[in-house]
């Protein structure tokens, strides 16, 4: 058999591994459906990491498999293996490559966080010590306005309270209280999150958003839902014996549906009970 030059073999293997890794990165289907404007940002980052992970897996496992077959013990060969003691250039190489990958992912992740609105909350922290003493915990932390929405007020504000073991939603503009979050699709929504007792964590997997609810520290999540439907809201911080049942839903409506829902609940929650009966069969 004619020997193919090692350089060509390595090149072909490199191209194949790159193509396979890129494909796996784009087609892994490991995450649930995307339902917020932030979701594609998170998923693109995740897919890049899956692609890099796949490439590393193939290179490492491929090298092991290749060595096991190529350098296996032949029948009747009882000699010792060649003693090899480290390789300085190789160690430099496999330190530099992960170093570049980690720094690159670090920079990319900060970019994703900025695009999601994560830096908005942080920039609000440039206040003096005196003003912090005067207004304790008045600056919410979490995901704020995206660079595109900078300076614009949100179109809907909802107060979210976490308690053992439920989420409560209050719509301050319309005085509606619910146990389920309802939002219109395509609109800029701000959640003001607080906790009554212990730390909880407000998580909507389909939005790729999660924010701790902390007693004494206001937090926030600002997002735009991009797909109508019903998605789970899950408490993601172990908060006590019934933490596992601390779940509810977010319902993303079309704007017309949302207005109808809001109108029904606004009337339903007024004190005059006769009207409640009339509109809420």
**Which one, 49 or 236, has the nearer CB to Cu ion?**
236
Region for 229 from its dihedrals, namely left if φ exceeds 0, alpha if ψ lies in -120 to 50, beta otherwise? left
Least CB distance from residue 134 to Cu ion, whole Å?
Answer: 31
From 246, 251, 252, 262, residue interacting with Cu ion (rule: CB under 5 A) = 246
From 3-11, 36-44, 76-84, 196-204, span contacting Cu ion (CB under 5 A): 196-204
Contact 52, 21 (CB under 8 A): yes
- Lookup result for tokens 């308690």: 163
Contact 218, 192 (CB under 8 A): yes
Q: What is the dihedral of CA 240, 243, 244, 248, to 10 degrees?
A: 170
Can residue 251 be called a binding residue for Cu ion (CB under 5 A)? no
Kindly state the number of chain residues that form the binding site for Cu ion, as judged by CB under 5 A: 4
Can residue 239 be called a binding residue for Cu ion (CB under 5 A)? yes
Can residue 235 be called a binding residue for Cu ion (CB under 5 A)? yes
Nearest to 184 by CA among 146, 227, 147: 227
From 200, 208, 222, 253, residue interacting with Cu ion (rule: CB under 5 A) = 200
Query: How big is the CA angle at 73 (ends 67 and 77), to the nearest 5 degrees?
Result: 145
Cis-peptide into 165, omega within 30 deg: yes
Q: What binding mask, one character per residue, do residues 155-194 give for Cu ion by CB under 5 A, x or -?
A: ----------------------------------------
**Which one, 51 or 235, has the nearer CB to Cu ion?**
235
From 69-77, 118-126, 130-138, 232-240, span contacting Cu ion (CB under 5 A): 232-240
From 127-135, 143-151, 180-188, 227-235, span contacting Cu ion (CB under 5 A): 227-235
**Which one, 62 or 179, has the nearer CB to Cu ion?**
179
**Which one, 41 or 214, has the nearer CB to Cu ion?**
214
From 14-22, 105-113, 167-175, 245-253, span contacting Cu ion (CB under 5 A): 245-253
- Cite the beta strand spans of 63-199 per DSSP E: 141-143, 156-163, 166-171, 176-178, 181-184, 188-195
Q: How far apart are the C-alpha atoms of 242 and 166, rounded to whole Å?
A: 10
Q: How far apart are the C-alpha atoms of 242 and 227, rounded to whole Å?
A: 30
Site for Cu ion in 33-72 (CB under 5 A): none
Can residue 208 be called a binding residue for Cu ion (CB under 5 A)? no
**Which one, 25 or 142, has the nearer CB to Cu ion?**
142
Can residue 222 be called a binding residue for Cu ion (CB under 5 A)? no
Phi and psi, residue 47, nearest 5°: -65, -35
Non-local (6+) Cβ contacts of 240 within 8 A are 164, 165, 198
Least CB distance from residue 172 to Cu ion, whole Å?
Answer: 23
Least CB distance from residue 223 to Cu ion, whole Å?
Answer: 20
Q: How far is CA 89 from the centre of its chain?
A: 38
Q: Which residues bind Cu ion (CB under 5 A)?
A: 200, 235, 239, 246
């Amino acid at each position: 058999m004619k020997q193919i030059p090692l350089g060509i073999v390595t090149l072909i293997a490199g191209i194949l591994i790159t193509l396979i890794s890129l494909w796996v990165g784009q087609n892994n289907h490991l995450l649930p459906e995307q339902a917020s404007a932030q979701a594609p940002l998170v998923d693109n980052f995740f897919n890049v990491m899956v692609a890099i992970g796949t490439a590393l897996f193939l290179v490492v496992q491929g090298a092991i498999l290749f060595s096991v077959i190529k350098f296996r013990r032949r029948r009747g060969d009882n000699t010792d293996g060649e003693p090899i003691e480290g390789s300085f250039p190789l160690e430099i190489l496999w330190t530099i490559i992960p170093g570049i990958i980690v720094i690159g992912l670090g920079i990319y992740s900060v970019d994703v966080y900025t695009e999601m609105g994560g830096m908005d909350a942080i920039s609000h922290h440039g206040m003096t010590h005196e003003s912090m003493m005067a207004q304790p915990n008045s600056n919410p932390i979490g995901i704020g306005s995206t660079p595109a929405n900078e300076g614009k007020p949100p179109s809907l504000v909802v107060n979210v309270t976490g308690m053992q073991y439920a989420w409560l939603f209050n719509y301050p503009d319309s005085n509606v209280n619910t146990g389920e979050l309802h939002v219109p699709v395509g609109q800029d929504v701000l959640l003001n999150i607080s906790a009554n007792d212990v730390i909880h964590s407000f998580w909507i997997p389909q939005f790729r958003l999660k924010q701790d609810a902390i007693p004494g520290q206001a937090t926030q999540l600002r997002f735009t839902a991009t797909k109508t439907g019903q998605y789970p809201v899950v408490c993601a911080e172990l908060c006590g014996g019934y933490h596992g049942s601390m779940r509810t839903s977010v319902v993303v409506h079309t704007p017309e549906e949302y207005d109808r829902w809001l109108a029904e609940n606004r009337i339903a929650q007024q004190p005059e009970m006769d009207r409640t009966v009339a509109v809420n069969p």
